[in-house]
Amino acid sequence: MQPFTKLTGIAAPLPMINVDTDKIIPAKWLKTIKRTGLGVALFETLRYADDGSERPEFVLNRAPYRSASILIAGDNFGCGSSREHAPWALLDFGIRCVIAPSFADIFHNNCFKNGILPVVLPKEQVDLLTREATEAGDPTFTIDLERQEIVRPTGNAVLKFAVDPHKKHCLLHGLDDIGQTMQRQSMIDGFEAKQRLAAPWLYREVA
């Protein structure tokens, strides 16, 4: 996983609530057995008309947002399915950070596993950033994970954000969870030994 330390880039406003995972990437794209190449299908139905041409009104089809690396979204972003294809598509497009008043749990988790930082801010602050991203001549923001700060194009006061310390640590260093857990093997062995005594039926052949 690519570490996430400090990101400076264009922020695209997408003030829609309940943007579900089918909207981020429709099911027909889930037939892939790879993680890459999904960027073209990101927000497919919002981005393209039925004949495949771009919808000029959609934010990611407009300059300068076409090269956005930050997305400022509405409530409950990423609701719906567990498909990790959603963050894969965002990443493949070039989005490394999503800011919203709230996220769906599984999507939120999936972002961290892919080097994408989801930032939760109070709704008023998200509204404010949405306005700035819409109105600023150059909507470039900086997201500093170490300091947990958002630097705004207006030069107004930085906004602080909260982040789970374990997830922050993994993101900053690009750490692979599995590798860390493998080092705890003896704890897992110990757990299994105890559970096997307490609930032996959990250890019979199941299929």
Partner 1 sequence: MAGPRTLFDKIWDAHLVDQQADGTCLIYIDRHLVHEVTSPQAFEGLRQTGRRVRRPEATLAVPDHNVPTTDRSQGIAEDQSRIQIETLQQNCRDFGVPLFDVTDIRQGIVHIIGPEQGFTLPGMTIVCGDSHTSTHGAFGALAFGIGTSEVEHVLATQTLYQTRPRNMRITVSGELPFGVTAKDVILAIIGTIGTGGGTGYVIEYAGEVIRGLSMAGRMTICNMSIEAGARAGLIAPDEVTFDYIKGRPMAPKGGAFEQAVQMWRQLPSDEGARYEKEVTLAAAEIEPQVTWGTSPQDVVPITGRVPRPEAEADPNRRSAMERSLDYMGLEPGLPMTEIRIDKVFVGSCTNGRIEDLRAAAKVISGKRVAPHVQAMVVPGSGLVKHQAEEEGLDRIFIEAGFEWREAGCSMCLGMNPDQLKPGERCASTSNRNFEGRQGKGGRTHLVSPAMAAAAAVAGHIADVRKFV
Tokens of 187: 């704890």
Binding residue for partner 1, selected from 51, 57, 124, 205, defined by CB under 8 A: 205
Q: Is 18 left (phi over 0), alpha (psi -120 to 50) or beta?
A: left
CA distance 27 to 35: 14
Binding residue for partner 1, selected from 2, 5, 8, 18, defined by CB under 8 A: 18
- Count other Cβ atoms within 10 Å, centred on residue 7: 15
6: helix, strand or coil: strand
Crossing angle of helices 105-112 and 165-173, in 10° steps, is 40
Rank residues 9 and 101 by Cβ distance to partner 1 and give the closer one: 101
Binding residue for partner 1, selected from 55, 82, 173, 174, defined by CB under 8 A: 82
Binding residue for partner 1, selected from 38, 68, 79, 89, defined by CB under 8 A: 79
Smallest gap, in angstroms, from Cβ of residue 140 to partner 1? Answer: 25
Residues 168-197 vs partner 1: string with x where CB under 8 A?
A: ---------xx--xx-x--xx--xx--x--
Binding residue for partner 1, selected from 28, 51, 52, 124, defined by CB under 8 A: 28
Binding residue for partner 1, selected from 75, 158, 172, 175, defined by CB under 8 A: 75
User: Residue 134, interface with partner 1 (CB under 8 A)?
Assistant: no
User: Residue 102, interface with partner 1 (CB under 8 A)?
Assistant: yes
Binding residue for partner 1, selected from 164, 173, 174, 196, defined by CB under 8 A: 164
- Give the dihedral of Cα atoms 55, 58, 60, 133; nearest 10 deg: 160
Helix H segments across 3-112?
21-24, 44-47, 85-93, 105-112
CA distance 163 to 145: 9
User: Residue 106, interface with partner 1 (CB under 8 A)?
Assistant: yes
Binding residue for partner 1, selected from 9, 13, 74, 153, defined by CB under 8 A: 74
Helix H segments across the chain?
21-24, 44-47, 85-93, 105-112, 123-135, 165-173, 177-182, 185-198
- Count other Cβ atoms within 10 Å, centred on residue 109: 16
Site residues (vs partner 1, CB under 8 A)? 15-18, 20, 22-23, 26-28, 30-35, 45, 50, 74-76, 79-84, 87, 102-106, 109-110, 113-114, 164-166, 177-178, 181-182, 184, 187-188, 191-192, 195, 198-202, 204-207
